[in-house]
């Protein structure tokens, strides 16, 4: 049995959701695998009630599918899914950047600069998990800075479907360095309030991610992390 993960009783619902989300994004639960409730309950030391609530939220995010007669299954996208999702996501990211450059506040700029510094430190330490989480925060703050709740809700729903794939695109040193450099350009464009430049780099950033994901899929390496949890057994 894997190492047991302790979760405090306070804010149990949110913590179970957060932990399961990380497990899905980082591939500890294999894409396409059934979420085994018994195994996950034992691992997280929680009853099935908060676990099921968390799974419903993950399904709403697009990280889990609720299938008849199978229960909850970690989402696994095919090439067409990836093409379609990144095509829309790139435009949403670009629009977010263009609007954010016009509407970002001084406080939001300070927050993004601080996150960029933290992300750079993760890159230097080769802390991929830490880098990914801070990276996601930066994209979220840029999106929030656009001050368009319809755009934000649409973006988050679609982005959730490819979170685990975006995590995998930086597991190659050269690609990771390129992504870091693109983030430096993003910050410069945002600080200059140059909407066209920020839109351009964000769109290119997402299309590069798409191309890397497709390359990995075609090489059979898109899900290279050995999953620790999830099975096709009944829960």
Domain ranges of the chain: 12-74, 79-218
Q: Is the per-residue pLDDT at 6 higher than 70? A: no
* Non-local CB neighbours of 224 within 8 Å, separated by 6+ positions: 27, 168, 171, 216
DSSP type of residue 31: T
**DSSP-based three-state secondary structure for 37:** helix
Residue with tokens 């930086």: 170
Q: Do domains 12-74 and 79-218 have the same CATH topology?
A: no
CATH code for 12-74? 1.10.10.10
CA distances from 119 to 22, 90, 114, 115 (A): 18, 22, 9, 6
Q: Once rounded to an integer, what is the mean pLDDT over residues 154-176?
A: 85
In this predicted model, what pLDDT tens digit does every residue of 84-120 receive, in sequence order? 999 999 999 999 999 999 999 999 999 999 999 999 9
* Residue 154: Cβ-neighbour burial (10 angstroms; 0-12, 13-18, 19+): middle
Q: With bands split at pLDDT 50, 70 and 90, how would you rate the model's confidence at 165?
A: confident
| pLDDT score of 155 | 93
CA distances from 1 to 4, 5, 39, 50 (A): 8, 11, 9, 22
Q: Once rounded to an integer, what is the mean pLDDT over residues 110-135?
A: 95
Q: Is the per-residue pLDDT at 151 higher than 90? A: yes
Q: Once rounded to an integer, what is the mean pLDDT over residues 191-219?
A: 95
The angle that helices 128-145 and 149-160 make with each other, rounded to 10 degrees, is: 150
Q: Is the per-residue pLDDT at 235 higher than 50? A: no
* Residue 64: Cβ-neighbour burial (10 angstroms; 0-12, 13-18, 19+): buried
Q: Once rounded to an integer, what is the mean pLDDT over residues 113-139?
A: 95
* Non-local CB neighbours of 66 within 8 Å, separated by 6+ positions: 55, 56, 59, 72, 73
Q: With bands split at pLDDT 50, 70 and 90, how would you rate the model's confidence at 4?
A: low
Q: Is the per-residue pLDDT at 51 higher than 90? A: yes
Domain 79-218 architecture: Up-down Bundle (1.20)
| CA pseudo-torsion sign 4, 74, 54, 27 | positive
Q: Once rounded to an integer, what is the mean pLDDT over residues 152-179?
A: 86
Assessment of whether the complete model's pTM goes beyond 0.85: no
Closest CA to 97 of 189, 233, 224, 18: 189
């Amino acid at each position: 049995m894997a190492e047991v993960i302790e979760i405090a009783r306070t804010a149990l619902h949110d913590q179970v959701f957060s932990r399961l989300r990380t497990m899905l994004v980082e591939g500890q639960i294999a894409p396409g695998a059934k979420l085994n409730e018994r195994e996950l309950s034992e691992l997280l030391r929680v009853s099935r009630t908060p676990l099921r609530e968390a799974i419903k939220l993950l399904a709403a995010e697009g990280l889990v599918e609720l299938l008849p007669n199978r229960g909850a299954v970690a989402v696994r996208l095919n090439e067409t899914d990836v093409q379609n999702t990144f095509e829309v996501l790139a435009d949403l990211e670009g629009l977010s950047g263009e609007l954010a450059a016009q509407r970002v506040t001084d406080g939001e700029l300070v927050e993004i600069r601080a996150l960029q510094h933290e992300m750079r430190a993760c890159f230097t330490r080769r802390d991929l998990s830490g880098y990914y989480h801070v990276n996601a925060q930066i994209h979220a703050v840029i999106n929030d800075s656009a001050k368009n709740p319809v755009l934000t809700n649409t973006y988050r729903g679609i982005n959730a479907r490819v979170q685990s794939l975006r995590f995998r695109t930086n597991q190659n040193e050269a690609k990771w360095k390129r992504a870091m450099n693109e983030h430096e350009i993003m910050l410069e464009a945002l600080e200059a309030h140059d909407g066209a430049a920020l839109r351009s780099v964000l769109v290119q950033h997402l299309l590069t991610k798409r191309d890397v994901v497709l390359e990995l899929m075609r090489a059979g390496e898109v899900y290279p992390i050995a999953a620790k949890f999830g099975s096709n057994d009944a829960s």
